[in-house]
Structure 1
């Protein structure tokens, strides 16, 4: 069985999806519609914007969502049994699975990006990658550093690759202590806020209000959601988990393991870059993993589908 997975923030790049826009009218229509909905040209930022502008969370999130959902829409006839997305990518997964329409998903993603950027300004924080520690050892590390401030595991990306998030002093203390407690590497990341930590709390209420304004349906295929690492189809659970996701850990490794336990043997990352392909390989080498980022890869996938 096959699953589509969708990347999150950090996978953006200058020129993203431009060739898809040029070669596929269906995708071009979606992107032009997105410009109308947002009230500015997100495609201009994607195709011609500087790295600095594209890194701004308020632009990054709709850009990655748009790239991913356009590619996925072109491949909508592919036999997909389950889907998931990493943080922001969860909205793309839900849109692909029919839990929310394109227009609503884009509006909420745009609002989410603004809210997270504002929360990062209101409650300054940072994140760090901790490499080579078990989940248990990481909990010991966090217990040692919490006297310095708020800090928690933000992303369980793959075995031995965990990202922590929180107040600057606490995160830097964890980075300092990590090597002596078994980490192979600990490095602070260049981010605009402490995502997936309690420092995102100011964004939570407004995000909930935005979600309450849109229709969320039961999904047509299961979406393995970040917060619970379980396949979900019911609308009320989807809505609840999207709100919790802002301040909760992204349980990506556990989600992939749950999908494999549910029968998934092939993963296809849809969207910019190859981040999730690398993570899935590290989680379980027995499954196949590939990616579709550009127009050539879309064409190859469509050609293969026609031959079957």
Structure 2
């Protein structure tokens, strides 16, 4: 039996997340204080009090979700004696969650992770003028079909696979004109539904190159340590531990697809039977179960979740 900690991406945010952790555990509260200090503002007040539309802005949601995930990790470590290095074999995260995973494994300091994600969120938002990009989730088909739909919908525009989430859910990203063609083209390929996503920019596609350039510059001056356990990288769907390669793959991640289905499958093939989603929401636990039906998938985001999972984590 092996375990993995997995960390959620954008979309899992909600006003009030992490407040119960901060109230229950001094170590969790300290995480939010450290993130506030790193950013020079009270992000914690926005996380706990809203408004939701401001929290949902990419530049806020990314460091906020990382903060909640790290509050769970610190509470497990400091309050409940769980050692990440001894408890799990791998960490992985969905898009921005990869930064949370790396921070949890000691590759990034908490302050650096917060500053990088603030910059990443702003750079991704600025890369494409509002209204020119879009994203859509294809339901009922896998990545092979999604690639065909994307190719037909492009017609000279950018239309890329952004997220390969699970065997029947793939997200496309690119110019809004191309994304608008996806639903009709998808019908001929067996797509059950094509759902436009309420996002402010077309993430994980070629249009994000300016943001990738910004991250390359930022990561060049940040110290990356060897993680205490390997991180399964989004763009490789394979474990990494080398600091320089971690930086390289994080830069590529901005424009390339999140290979989440393959990440889960790779961890399963490497013996992982128990996946713990660390942070806000329960999205990843659902994706894990649809990719690896025999796996155990548990979400830990509240003090009660920590205590419920403790026996399994320390056995």
Place the TM-score, normalised by the shorter chain, in its bin.
over 0.9
CA distance in 2, matches of 1:162, 1:304: 32
Deviation of 1:197 (Å)? 0.5
Q: Deviations over 1:220-243 (max 9, x none)?
A: 211100001001111111000000
Deviation of 1:304 (Å)? 5.9
Aligned length: 307
CA distance in 2, matches of 1:137, 1:169: 20
Q: Is the 8 A contact 2:238 2:263 kept in 1?
A: yes
Deviation of 1:177 (Å)? 1.3
3-state SS, counterpart of residue 64 of structure 1: helix
Deviation of 1:181 (Å)? 1.6
Which shifted more, 88-97 or 170-179?
170-179
3-state SS, counterpart of residue 219 of structure 1: coil
CA distance in 2, matches of 1:244, 1:53: 28
Within a 5 Å distance, the mapping from 1:1-308 to structure 2 comes to 1-76=2-77, 77-78=82-83, 79-121=87-129, 124-302=132-310, 308=315
3-state SS, counterpart of residue 196 of structure 1: coil
Q: Deviations over 1:229-263 (max 9, x none)?
A: 00111111100000000000000000100001111
Q: Is the 8 A contact 1:123 1:199 kept in 2?
A: no
Deviation of 1:124 (Å)? 2.8
CA distance in 2, matches of 1:305, 1:176: 47
Deviation of 1:305 (Å)? 5.3
Deviation of 1:122 (Å)? 6.5
Deviation of 1:302 (Å)? 3.9
- The 1:295/1:121 distance shift into structure 2, 3 A limit, reads farther
Q: Is the 8 A contact 1:120 1:192 kept in 2?
A: no
Q: Is the 8 A contact 1:148 1:173 kept in 2?
A: no
Which shifted more, 89-98 or 111-120?
111-120
CA distance in 1, matches of 2:241, 2:311: 31
3-state SS, counterpart of residue 13 of structure 2: coil
Deviation of 1:180 (Å)? 2.1
CA distance in 1, matches of 2:37, 2:167: 42
**Normalised TM-score (structure 1):** 0.96
CA distance in 2, matches of 1:223, 1:181: 35
Which shifted more, 133-142 or 42-51?
133-142
Q: Deviations over 1:177-234 (max 9, x none)?
A: 1122210111111100000011111111111111111101222211100001001111
3-state SS, counterpart of residue 99 of structure 1: coil
Unaligned runs of 5+ in 1: none
Which shifted more, 195-204 or 158-167?
195-204
3-state SS, counterpart of residue 238 of structure 1: helix
CA distance in 2, matches of 1:226, 1:72: 21
3-state SS, counterpart of residue 75 of structure 1: helix
Q: Deviations over 1:41-84 (max 9, x none)?
A: 11111000122111100110011000001101222324111110
Deviation of 1:135 (Å)? 2.2
**Normalised TM-score (structure 2):** 0.94
Unaligned runs of 5+ in 2: none
CA distance in 1, matches of 2:313, 2:126: 43
3-state SS, counterpart of residue 137 of structure 2: strand
